[in-house]
């Protein structure tokens, strides 16, 4: 009797060990390809960046180690650097200040519509134009000679504007599409829909009004996702390239010359790879500083 139980136990332990082994092997097999990719195309270039930035980098001749020379040149002797950072910060600030709240507001208001209306609206809203198509279309809207905007202005009897060719207007032109094309954000809608109805019902019993319900229930619930989106928004806007590059290529009189466009020019038209990389590390530092500030002043969870 005892022997039988013992045998059974032995069997189950052995099969357990075998399973553990199987599991371990599967775990590593499943991770293998991803680990190779993240090593070769994630970490390796990143480490190389921190080597290249301290070298006078040549493709053909051997590279020379120059220490902080690139950073010194960039920070104190390159008049473009303050300009591009000013432009990038201005663009990020304007774009976040003017367009970040819109999807949140629209998503909250959208919930007031009837179910089928929401459905129709969402489909129409997400009839997307591919991003390059959108940029080109807006560039055509802005065309001073044949564009729609000047057409409307002249029809209404206002003086026509030079839009993208006017250094004072260019930055505004980059932000304008984001303001006009307001729409809901899928993530916000998802989060709002996951808020339990009981919360609102309880608030209603307490006599909460429409705005109070938004202020005291919806917004606090959205707070974590807003914090995440804000960080992603800052990071992506600090690296903006496509929009200014396609619209003006840096702009009349460098009006919308962004950091990444300047990095692109340094590396791929002047072949100063070391200096370009050094500038990208500076951009990283500035972005990090912004994120730290954001995390300090915009707590993810209000309860803590």
Partner 1 sequence: MPLINEVGKKYWKVRMLLVVITVFLWIGVGLHLFPVYWAFMTSIKTRYETYSFPPTWWPHKITFASYTILFKASSLYKIMNYPLLTYLKNTLIIVGAIMAIQIPVCALVAYALSKLHTPKWNRILFLYLVGPMLVPGVISLIPLFLLLLHFPFPTKHIPTLPFTNIFFPHIKIINTYWAVILPGCYSAFNVLLFKGFFDRIPDELINAARLDGASELGIFLRIILPISKPIFAVITYFTFSGTFNTFMWPFIVLKEKTWPLAVIMYKMQHTIFQYYTENPEIGGSMAREVGPNTLMAVSIIQSIPVFIMFIIFREQLMKGIKLRGFK
- Binding window for partner 1 (CB under 8 A); candidates: 2-10, 66-74, 87-95, 142-150: 142-150
The angle, 0 to 180 degrees and rounded to 10, between the axes of the packed helices 167-180 and 80-99 is 30
Residues 206-265 that bind partner 1 (CB under 8 A): 210, 213-214, 218, 224-225, 228, 235, 238-239, 241-242, 245-246, 260, 263-264
Q: Kindly tell me which of 89 and 139 has the beta carbon lying closer to partner 1.
A: 139
- Is residue 244 within 8 Å of 289, Cβ to Cβ? no
Q: Give me the helices (H) in the chain, please.
A: 2-38, 44-52, 69-72, 80-99, 101-110, 115-125, 131-142, 148-156, 167-180, 186-193, 197-205, 210-213, 219-238, 242-247, 259-268, 273-297
- Binding window for partner 1 (CB under 8 A); candidates: 3-11, 67-75, 76-84, 283-291: 283-291
In the complex, the smallest distance separating the C-beta of residue 257 from partner 1, rounded to whole angstroms, is 15
Helix (H, G, I), strand (E, B) or coil at 110: helix
In the complex, the smallest distance separating the C-beta of residue 1 from partner 1, rounded to whole angstroms, is 25
Binding partner 1 (rule: CB under 8 A), the pick from 9, 13, 68, 190 is 190
Q: Kindly tell me which of 1 and 210 has the beta carbon lying closer to partner 1.
A: 210
- Binding window for partner 1 (CB under 8 A); candidates: 3-11, 76-84, 168-176, 268-276: 268-276
Q: Kindly tell me which of 100 and 284 has the beta carbon lying closer to partner 1.
A: 284
In the complex, the smallest distance separating the C-beta of residue 210 from partner 1, rounded to whole angstroms, is 5
Q: Kindly tell me which of 255 and 266 has the beta carbon lying closer to partner 1.
A: 266
- Binding window for partner 1 (CB under 8 A); candidates: 2-10, 64-72, 77-85, 176-184: 176-184
- CA 273/CA 276 separation, integer angstroms: 5
- Binding window for partner 1 (CB under 8 A); candidates: 66-74, 79-87, 91-99, 194-202: 194-202
Binding partner 1 (rule: CB under 8 A), the pick from 69, 200, 219, 254 is 200
Residues 12-71 that bind partner 1 (CB under 8 A): 19, 22-24, 26-28, 30-31, 33-35, 37-38, 40-46, 48-49, 51-52, 57-60, 62-63
- CA 260/CA 277 separation, integer angstroms: 11
Pairs from 45-51 (Cβ < 8 Å, separation ≥ 24) = 49/277, 49/280, 49/281, 50/281
Cα 6-12-14 angle, rounded to 5 deg: 100
Site string for partner 1, 64-103 (x = CB under 8 A): ----------------------------------------
User: What element of type H or E holds 160?
Assistant: none
Pairs from 230-233 (Cβ < 8 Å, separation ≥ 24) = 230/96, 230/100, 230/294, 230/298, 231/291, 231/294, 231/295, 233/96, 233/100
């Amino acid at each position: 009797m005892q022997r039988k139980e013992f045998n059974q136990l032995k069997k189950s332990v052995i099969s357990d060990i075998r399973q553990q082994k199987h599991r371990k092997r599967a775990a590593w097999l499943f991770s293998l390809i991803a680990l190779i990719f993240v090593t070769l195309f994630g970490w390796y270039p990143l480490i190389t960046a921190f080597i290249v930035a301290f070298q006078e980098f040549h493709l053909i001749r051997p590279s020379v180690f120059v220490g902080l020379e690139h950073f010194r040149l960039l920070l104190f002797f390159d008049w473009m650097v303050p300009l591009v950072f000013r432009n990038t910060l201005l663009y990020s600030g304007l774009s976040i200040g003017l367009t970040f709240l819109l999807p949140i507001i629209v998503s909250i208001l959208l919930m007031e519509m009837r179910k089928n209306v929401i459905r129709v609206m969402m489909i129409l809203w997400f009839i997307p134009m591919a991003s390059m198509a959108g940029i080109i279309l807006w560039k055509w809207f802005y065309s001073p000679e044949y564009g729609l905007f000047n057409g409307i202005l002249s029809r209404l009897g206002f003086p026509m504007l030079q839009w993208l060719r006017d250094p004072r207007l260019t930055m505004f032109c980059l932000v304008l599409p984001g303001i006009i094309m307001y729409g809901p954000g899928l993530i916000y809608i998802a989060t709002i829909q996951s808020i339990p109805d009981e919360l609102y019902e309880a608030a209603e019993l307490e006599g909460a009004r429409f705005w109070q319900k938004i202020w005291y229930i919806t917004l606090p619930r959205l707070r974590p996702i807003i914090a995440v989106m804000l960080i992603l928004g800052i990071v992506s806007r600090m690296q903006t390239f496509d929009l200014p590059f396609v619209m003006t290529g840096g702009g009349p009189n460098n009006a919308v010359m962004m950091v990444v466009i300047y990095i692109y020019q340094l590396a791929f038209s002047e072949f100063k790879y070391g200096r370009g990389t050094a500038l990208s590390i500076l951009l990283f530092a500035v972005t990090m500083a912004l994120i730290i500030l954001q995390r300090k002043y915009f707590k993810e969870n209000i309860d803590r």
